[in-house]
Structure 1
Amino acid sequence: MNAVRVVMAAVVCVACVVVPSVAPPAQAQLLGKGDSEPLPAAPLEAYERNIAAPPQRCTDFEIVIAAGTGDSNQGDDPLHVRGLRPGSTLLADVEAAGGSVSAWQVPYTASVGVLGTLGETRTNMALPYGASLDTGKRAVRTHLATLHDACPDTKVLFLGFSQGAGLLGDLVAESPDPSLVAAYLIADPGRSRTTYHTAETVTGARGVRGENGEILIPLDGVRLASDVSGLTGPRRTSFHDAEAEVLTFCHSNDLACATQHDGLAQRVGVRLAQPAAAPLHKLAGRGFKDFGHNPIATMLALAWELAAVSHVVQEYAGETPPFSGEDITGLGVLLHVAAQELLPMAAGLGVPQIPMPLIDLIPHVMNMMPHHLAYFEGGDHPAWTIDGESVESWIAHDMVPRIQAS
């Protein structure tokens, strides 16, 4: 169905949706668990129980891992470490290098609203992006408090991708944990613009300093323009008060972390990332994954999402008429096409219709999808590298001396 394809492309661009695979990752096999386990009957109860559970053992280091959109849900067992993407071997690589290391996978909704439930996803709730971030941040805060009570000497490393990078980066900026040694943020939607100042990490890696204090580690053959930043806008709070190093990784073709600063795409991302009480989304449950559960709430929640985007685009159009191919990125176009095709389903809900006859840009945006996953090996796009090795492998090798130095 064309409408579904349009919506899926829109969701990918707006909120970094990652189409997940259900193949069991290396870490899950390492811990003796597979991905075929059914979700708990009461995921919210499991969420509350899991985030407050004390660690099974104290280690010198714990890696807190937050996967991207669609690759997590609140019912996940945080000790069942899936990694950032199926097939990841980062944890195994770090463990093989020696040292006392454990990992904790953030159980959060990893959702982008009702629109995000049209595609393949592991999420069990249709919460909007901002509300989803809040579930992740609450989980990490609660877990770290429990961890420090039980294991006061344990140090922490953050590792996040896409929405997961967004929530971990927010935590470092808002309330830096004194036990945090370093944060690795891949495709961070909250990335700030780069400055002209180079920087060197404590492990000797060289990068470029961001306006908020993070260090951009350059990918091989990639030059990131200084006028692009993350899709949900740079964080209002910087990393300058954090003792931990914050390393960020971004490709110029990845809209999630390299969007025109204050352009239409970023304005839409900023709007959708705002925290929301989302009572309709809570009633909608799993959205289109279980449409019969509460179809009225699902459609009302969808109308809320489309109305929010329509408002941003109308405002943008009033500032920069007329629209052009440069002014409207594929993000804005696809959202409007999605609204135009889905609005008949939500007739009478008061969502404004804005005709946007720019469907010819859809193939261009569909081609952007593999770029967001090219930080990892095994995808449709050749994996990007740092000094000749994959991004995850580079991160693993950067973690090891930090752990061994403790």
Structure 2
Amino acid sequence: MSRPTQPGRPGRRRPSALAMGVGIIALVAIVLVIILVISLLSSGPSAPPITSPSSSAAPSSSAVAKPASQPADCPDVLMIAIPGTWESKSTDDPIHPKANPNSLMLKVTAPLQNAFPGARLEAWTTPYIAQLSNPIAIPPDGQASYTTSREQGDSRTRAELTTMYARCPLTSVILTGFSQGAAIAGDIASDIGNGKGPIPADNVIGVGLISDSRREPGYSNTVGPDPTGVGVEVAFNGLDIDGLTLRGQRPGGFGTLKGRTWSLCGSHDPICNEPADVFDVNAIATTMPKLQSVLTGNSHALYATTQDWSYKGESAVVWMGHWASGLINAAPRPKHS
């Protein structure tokens, strides 16, 4: 019978220094990205209570016949814009938002409001907490958690869509968002496109996302830079630290809305462009340079410029404004009663 190998003897296998070093580097890289995501945000007021999102889905357009006309005060097009972290408050006015005059989405909606009459376009900006607390801050930073903030934005957006559809079933919808707002808009668009949303997919004429944290190349249309990475929620799928929950892929993608969905992402934006193999220790030689490039050139706040994202000389907000304008001009003009 062979004798068991004793500690310290040559027969015992020990982890190599190289393997240990690679593991440590991988762990450090992951921690750095998590810290970066949190550091994009800042302290703010405490969050008010929220209500849970409705789980009911709108009937499909084939199941319910739509009327020939709708009330006179219904807009032809409803454009919902969901601001990013720091760019909204739960008490903000959705028609005339003032919580953050520098909000990226205001740079899209304000010119459109000036270009189209209210009967043609209603721009509705989701008022929500728009915060993300640092789960490892000591003392606590006083912000609402990402989950709390995200659920309120989701709930209020779905409520507005439900209310509008009940009164104005012929109104066309454009759903847009930036950063945390893009994650919310993308989640709702995914549900709508897969038959589980608050309105039928036929009512949605466009979805526009800037820096979607659940982005996956090939799951939507894009212009400008088309990074090979994925959103931080996809790369770090399953990470859950005291209210900072990253949800991974969207089951079913955007469903029937895939061809109507546009997702914009800068090459150096760590929110929408992370290495898909960030947890693969064997790929560390290629993953680390990618992480370093994204972290060093963090462009998350630069979509109003052409520094990291541009298409034919236009910034992301200018491109999205032109895209939305084209949709509004081409949208149906329902009869009113």
Alignment of 1:27-46 (within 5 A): 43-44=48-49
Match for residue 239 of structure 1 among 254, 269, 272: 254
Question: Residue 389 of structure 1 aligns to a residue in which SS?
Answer: coil
Q: What residue is the counterpart of 1:191 in the other structure?
A: 215
For the 8 Å contact 1:16–1:256, the answer to whether it is kept is: no
What SS is found at the alignment partner of 1:156? strand
Label 1:15 to 1:183 Cα distance change in 2 as closer, same or farther (>3 A): farther
* AA in 1 matched with 2:133: G
Q: What is the aligned counterpart of 2:222 among 216, 225, 250?
A: 216
Which one of 87, 90, 105 corresponds to residue 74 of structure 1?
90
Give the match for residue 77 of structure 2. 61
* Native 8 Å contact 2:265 2:309 kept in 1: no
Task: Measure how far apart 1:77 and its partner are.
Answer: 2.8
Where 1:95 maps in the other structure, the secondary structure is helix
SS across alignment from 1:159: strand
Higher relative contact order (CA 8 A, sep 6+): 2
> Is the CA contact 1:185–1:247 (under 8 Å) kept in the aligned structure 2?
yes
Q: 1:143 Cα deviation (Å)?
A: 1.2
- The AA in structure 2 aligned to 1:114 is N
Whether the 8 Å contact between 1:61 and 1:101 is mirrored in structure 2 is yes
Q: 1:390 aligns with which of 288, 293, 315?
A: 315
2:251 is matched by which residue type in structure 1? Answer: R
Which of the residues 180, 183, 208 maps onto 1:166? 183
Task: Decide whether aligned partners of structure 1 residues 68 and 142 sit closer, same or farther in structure 2, where only a CA change above 3 A counts.
Answer: same
Q: Distance in 2 between matches of 1:152 and 1:46?
A: 25
| Cα distance in 1 between the residues matched to 2:210 and 2:151 | 19
Q: CA deviation at 1:256?
A: 0.8
**Corresponding residue for 2:149?**
132
CA distance in 2, matches of 1:113, 1:93: 32
SS at match of 1:74: coil
Deviation at 1:57, TM superposition (A): 4.8
Cα drift, residue 97 of structure 1:
3.3
Rounded to whole Å, the distance in 2 between the matches of 1:16 and 1:59 is 39
Equivalent positions of 1:6-25 (< 5 A) are 13-14=36-37, 17-18=40-41
1:110 aligns with 2:137: no
> Contact between 1:46 and 1:75, CA under 8 Å: does it hold in 2?
no
Would you say the 8 A contact 1:187–1:257 is kept in 2?
Answer: yes
SS of corresponding position for 1:59: coil
The aligned length equals 256
1:91 corresponds to: 109
With over 3 angstroms needed to count, the CA separation of the structure-2 counterparts of 1:151 and 1:330, relative to structure 1, is same
CA distance in 2, matches of 1:60, 1:402: 11
Distance 1:237 1:143 in 2: 24
Contact kept in structure 2, 1:62 and 1:102, CA below 8 Å = yes
Query: Tell me, what secondary structure is at the counterpart of 2:162?
Result: helix
For each residue in 1:142-173, what CA deviation from the matched residue of structure 2 results, as whole angstroms up to 9, or x when unmatched? 11111122322221111111111011101111
Query: C-alpha distance in 2, partners of 1:142/1:117?
Result: 33
CA contact (8 A) 1:161 1:188 kept: yes
RMSD of the alignment, in Å? 3.9
Cα distance in 1 for residues equivalent to 2:323 and 2:204: 15
SS in 1 for 2:187: helix
Q: Is the 8 A contact 1:65 1:84 kept in 2?
A: no
Shift of residue 247 of structure 1? Answer: 0.2
2:38–2:134 CA contact under 8 A, matched in 1: no
Distance 1:385 1:158, change over 3 A: same
Cα distance in 2 for residues equivalent to 1:77 and 1:125: 21
Match of 1:175, SS state, is: helix
Consecutive unaligned residues in structure 2, runs of 5 or more = 1-31, 54-71, 194-198, 235-248, 332-337
Secondary structure at the aligned position of 2:123 is classed as: strand
Tell me by how many angstroms 1:107 deviates. Answer: 2.1
- Rounded Cα–Cα distance in structure 2 between residues aligned with 1:94 and 1:12: 36
Q: Which amino acid aligns with 1:259?
A: E
Match of 2:230 in 1: 229
Query: What are the ranges of 5 or more consecutive residues in structure 1 without an aligned counterpart?
Result: 1-8, 23-38, 49-55, 195-209, 265-318, 332-360
Q: Choose between structure 1 and 2: higher helix proportion.
A: 1
Aligned equivalents of 1:259 and 1:243: distance in 2?
22
Instruction: State the alpha-carbon separation in 1 of the partners of residues 181 and 136 from structure 2.
Output: 16
